[in-house]
Structure 1
Amino acid sequence: MISGPGGASFSVTQLLFIVKPYQFNPMRLENKVALITGGSGGIGRETAILFAKEGAKIVVTDVNDVGGQETADEIVKNGGEAYFLHSDVSKAADCEAAVAFTEEKFGKLNVIFNNAGIMHSDDDNAVTTEEAIWDLTMNINAKGVFLGCKYGIPALQRAGGGSIINTASFVAILGAATPQVAYTASKGAVLALTRELAVIHARENIRVNALCPGPLRTELLMKFLNTEEKKQRRLVHIPMGRFGEAKEMAYAALFLASDEASFVTGTDFLVDGGITSAYVTPL
């Protein structure tokens, strides 16, 4: 017999029964294969590394070959399995090839993280934003998600189901006085597409959710908020008083990718420091 808290006694068999669910719990993405776009840095890199730590095999894609390969190398260096593939998400052939590459390397695809996106510095209001900037932003942020789903869903069907996570943004839900109309509209399209696909594929064991980050301390946003005045103007609206971190988004994506989210589909999963809940922020 072994003494436990409060002087209670347990046999070895009873003790093993008590601790087994915690002691032998598998990694959250064990035996899963994930395809992550925009994996050269920021949310994509942090998510790829975290998914690998949780047991997933990873294919990272990006147009940034150096950064994308660094992400894959980091995973392999730490004992994981990962490949990098150059891919432009705005091109159908590249998206189709990325899915085929993933199935060729790992035999299946279980998780798709359509994360690649841009926020162009010349994206402003409807009057001043050039048509070319609108088209570029839509092609990557919205069309890229569509193409990822178009070619990825058949692979998930072949695997018996899976999870799709599409990176949207809090600006698709909450308007901002700092204009970025192409970016905002593209992220609104991601939300609408996510809901539609979630309903269409709900009975195929395919879950589709939109991850909606708040303002993050990533290169993408910091290039846009390129002065201290701009940063403080944004921070005053965040109840938590700070920018989010890419790693915090990775943990949110991990939940959506895992079987723990088995009854979660069609959601706008806000991870935003409370910004969409705030009328005024605390003093």
Structure 2
Amino acid sequence: EVTGGAVAYTDMVPVDQPSSGPVPATPPVRKLAKELGVDIETVRGTGSHGRVTGDDVRSAADGPGDVTRMELTPVRRAIAANLERQASIPQVTTFRTVDCTALQLFRQELDVSPLPVVVAALCEVAKDHPLVNARWSPDAILASNAVNAGLAIDTERGLVVAIIRDAHSLGIATIAAESTRLAEGARAGSLTSNDIAGATIAVSNTGSYGSEAGTPILSPGTSVTLAIGVIADRALVIDGRVVARPAATLSLTFDHRVLDGAAAGRALTGLVDLLQSDDRLRHLPR
């Protein structure tokens, strides 16, 4: 065992491989090493004349110990590519706590989950705040007249964003039914291209698996993604008194090229105000 300094073991270097200078490897192998996060200069080559092979790089990436190698699926590769593209967009997330007392009573009356009610409310907010339903282009900001709500759906193959088209023209019951259809189709792998392309705004129900809050990444072609945290009893100050109320955290990620912080904040406040108002909830199309 070496506890300090540097020791060179000449028997570990093939006789026909120089002990200094760049490690011999082809450009594709060097590219693979970069993709896998492997320092190719530390890899012992087993190829001809000590050349580092692709298998050498993969073995180094696996590392010592009990490691399971999981090959990338086409869906996972597509997700990664989309996220890398979206990472170049200046994204900011703002948060608000919403008292869900009225929302819970209303959605239980309709026998639906909170999600379709929030989608319907978001469509209503988009009427007064059109930038939440817009997207950036090189020459202009393009505000959509239709709200195509993208729903983030967790599947065994990875995350799928499925589209409720013209959500602004649908009632809550129809939004709920369409959400169920899309979720089942996503998990069965039976969605069509029309089901997964063209979102103008996106919603992620992170609370469905217990998350309190998050910083969702924008979906392609959108300027806003809303994440709904888990609804749970929390201590809220109501009329000067601390009381337990069902509440959730709403996380709004927005494209800062399209919306400034003030515009995003006003839109999120408008959504919170609507969701906390029993009267306004009951005016949403059912």
User: Please, what TM-score do these two structures have when normalized by structure 1?
Assistant: 0.26
More helix by share: 1
Structure scoring higher RCO (CA < 8 A, sep ≥ 6) equals 2
Larger Rg: 2
